[in-house]
Amino acid sequence: MISDDDSATWHSAPEAEGAAPSEPRTPPDKLPSRLAANLYLVIGIALLIANSALDLDTLARYAVGSALLVLLALLALLFMRAERLEIRATARFHRAETRATLLALASVPSLWITGVALNLISALIFGYTTPVPPTIFPRTALEAVALALTTMVAAPIFEEIMFRGYVQRAYERRGIWAGIVVGGLIFSLYHLRFQGVFALIPVALALGFVAWRTGSIYPAMLMHAAYNTIATAVLISTSFLSAQVTGMLAATVACIGLLVAPFSFAALWMLWKRPPAERAPLPQPPSQARSSVLRWVWVLPLLALLVVYTYAAATEVLVQRHPETLLDDTLYMTPPDTWEQEVAWTYTIESFLGDELGTATCSRLPREAHYALECEAAYEGFDIADALPDLGDRLEGFDWRDLPLDFLGLDVVLGAPPQSWTLTANWGQQALELTTFDLRIDLAPDPSEAEAASEQPLMVQYTRGEAENGLVIRHPGEEARTLPLEGEPVVMLHEWAWRFSALPFDLPYGGPVTVVEIDAGGDTAIYRGFLRVAGGEPAWTPAGNFIAWRLTLSWEDGAGRQHARSAWYQDAAPYMLVRYDDGSVSYLLESIETGP
């Protein structure tokens, strides 16, 4: 039998004035030891890490996840039995008052809004959201049902048994609030996320408080299920509904949550003012004196948990914020058999506000010793003031370029000149290295010079040589100049998104690249950048909804400003490019045609 020598110190909250509580329940004579609870957590987190390493499809992921939750809950009950605890009293398997249960459920909207706000704030502060694999998103009705059963049924029931029914009880040996706070923090950290952990803490503390205040684990299970139902509904909508419908649904849920939040907080306050449904137990006598080392042995498993979480959190932050510090994969690409077939894509070009600006067509052609990419694109310029008529009338004659927004990266999303470009690129047949590249950009004239229409386009040519790689640039009216290129692989901002669809997508994965940047004005520069797999996301296009892998290409320019480009690929091989953001406009897949 595992135990520690903590003597429990209990404090019963004062009853609310005028309240007429029912007869409080008698607490269990004995509570779980912290050593046993911490050993249980170590076993549980080892199982969770092993499960996360499995390469499973969506349906298997949720089936195995639910089975693991059942196993961990049963293991918690076995630990209680091993310590000869009264399971029903320890886990608070008691019926709760109806009014207390309704108040607990009414508090969910306020907790959800608080969690969403904290998640947004932490995402803004840290500059990323926790990455997930594409298999987290359901694609079929069966997978959606499996997701709902896991998040809305299995997780609320079995996680509450694990954390509120067992772990929290062990830390209640040092007082009710010690159990609620420590148990809630452990629950939040147990998900092994850093950016999203702050959104979990309020609901974790609320669940622990409700379990104690009502004297029952069942209201906490219902709260957990209601909280997860909101998140699950939004997640499923991203897989099956359009971007507009999903956005409207998320906005509607957020607005309803904000409207009812005051009443929801009031419900939580009313629950706070209710007297506890459980008597303050008699202090437990301390066990026989031991050495100071043995008295603190329960801390060792907890320290192991903190080490695991710290490692996971540090890895997450470094991979998302500074991937070059941890990732150094060889970006080796092997074209699949489907690349032996000609394919042509048509893309709709949109501004970041969703206004259609033009179209682009790209074709991949298999050749005898290489693959060829041929693209042409043309789109109109845009200005944010044009999409805001009232604001545009008030700011007539105002030029966004007069503002120093380039240091924030906002200059490219507030407006862009019209542009048309064509390219031909050749990739080696074995490793898809860039061998030749020819780009022509018809630059828009400067608005301040009405007669300055360019008669010659900007020409960029690249040839991979055995000794060195050369980049030849010809600006209109200027002599051609050659820039040396060092470092492989070389990526051009107009072609890389199509070529890197042959990557072995995985998390985490990434490596250094040499980036050739050509901005809207035709200025060309070479930087050392980084390409990495950022995780799975939904991608909405005119061709349909896709669950996609996202690639991000990032680099720092000579002025120290950070730049990034993103590309989304259908998550199943062959990984077809369905969306590409070039910094100012987005290319969204409209149709695809395959040849012989």
72 and 220 fall within a common domain? yes
Neighbours of 455 (CB within 10 A): 6
Tell me how far apart the alpha carbons of residues 517 and 492 are, in angstroms, rounded to a whole number: 7
Nearest to 215 by CA among 127, 266, 275, 260: 275
Tokens of 235: 């997640």
Supply the pLDDT for residue 396.
52
What is the C-alpha end-to-end distance of the chain, expressed in Å?
71
Mean pLDDT of 554-573: 86
In the chain, the amino acid numbered 400 is W
In the chain, the amino acid numbered 101 is T
Residue 20 counted as domain residue: no
Supply the pLDDT for residue 174.
83
Q: Give Cβ neighbours of residue 251 (< 8 Å, ≥ 6 apart).
A: none
The two beta strands, 586-594 and 343-350, are antiparallel
Residue scoring higher pLDDT (465 or 246): 246
189 and 315 fall within a common domain? yes
Mean pLDDT of 160-189: 91
Residue 238 counted as domain residue: yes
300 and 344 fall within a common domain? no
CA 123 to chain CA centroid, Å, is 9
User: Domain total for the chain?
Assistant: 2
Residue scoring higher pLDDT (402 or 323): 323
Tell me how far apart the alpha carbons of residues 256 and 109 are, in angstroms, rounded to a whole number: 8
The two beta strands, 562-570 and 370-379, are unpaired
- pLDDT band (50, 70, 90) for residue 175: confident
pLDDT > 70: percent of the chain: 82
Collapsing DSSP states into helix, strand and coil, what is residue 28?
coil
Flag whether pLDDT at 287 surpasses 60.
no
The two beta strands, 562-570 and 356-366, are unpaired
368 and 259 fall within a common domain? no
Supply the pLDDT for residue 429.
82
343 and 407 fall within a common domain? yes
- Domain with 473 in it: 337-383+402-594
261 and 371 fall within a common domain? no
Residue scoring higher pLDDT (222 or 514): 222
Q: Which DSSP string do the residues of 279-303 spell out, in sequence order? A: PPPPPPPPPPP--HHHHTTTHHHHH
Supply the pLDDT for residue 17.
38
508 and 559 fall within a common domain? yes
Residue 4 counted as domain residue: no
Tell me how far apart the alpha carbons of residues 335 and 499 are, in angstroms, rounded to a whole number: 9
Supply the pLDDT for residue 57.
87
Residue in this structure with the two tokens 């990495």, named with its chain if needed? 532
Where are the alpha helices (H) located in 447-532, listed in sequence order?
A: 496-499
pLDDT tens-digit series, residues 105-131: 999 999 999 998 999 899 888 888 888
Q: For the stretch 437-446, what's the b/e string if a residue is b when 16 or more beta carbons lie within 10 angstroms of its beta carbon?
A: bebbbbbbee
Mean pLDDT of 406-413: 49
- pLDDT band (50, 70, 90) for residue 466: low
Supply the pLDDT for residue 448.
44
Residue 286 counted as domain residue: no
419 and 306 fall within a common domain? no
pLDDT tens-digit series, residues 491-532: 888 899 999 998 888 888 899 988 888 766 667 788 889 999
304 and 448 fall within a common domain? no
Tell me how far apart the alpha carbons of residues 107 and 271 are, in angstroms, rounded to a whole number: 9
Q: What is the pTM of this model?
A: 0.82
Residue 17 counted as domain residue: no
* Mean pLDDT over the full length of the chain: 82
Neighbours of 561 (CB within 10 A): 12
Supply the pLDDT for residue 77.
96
Residue 99 counted as domain residue: yes
- What phi, psi does 526 have (nearest 5°)? -120, 130
Adjacent-strand bridge partners of 401: none
Supply the pLDDT for residue 404.
45
228 and 357 fall within a common domain? no
452 and 538 fall within a common domain? yes
- Say if residue 26 is exposed, middle or buried (CB neighbours under 10 Å; 0-12, 13-18, 19+): exposed
- pLDDT band (50, 70, 90) for residue 418: confident
Supply the pLDDT for residue 293.
53
Residue 575 counted as domain residue: yes
- pLDDT band (50, 70, 90) for residue 40: very high
Residue 13 counted as domain residue: no
Quick check: 134 and 548 in contact, CB under 8 A?
Answer: yes
Nearest to 335 by CA among 434, 429, 435: 429
Tokens of 475: 């600006």
CA distances from 312 to 73, 75, 77 (A): 24, 24, 28
Mean pLDDT of 154-176: 93
Supply the pLDDT for residue 354.
80
253 and 342 fall within a common domain? no
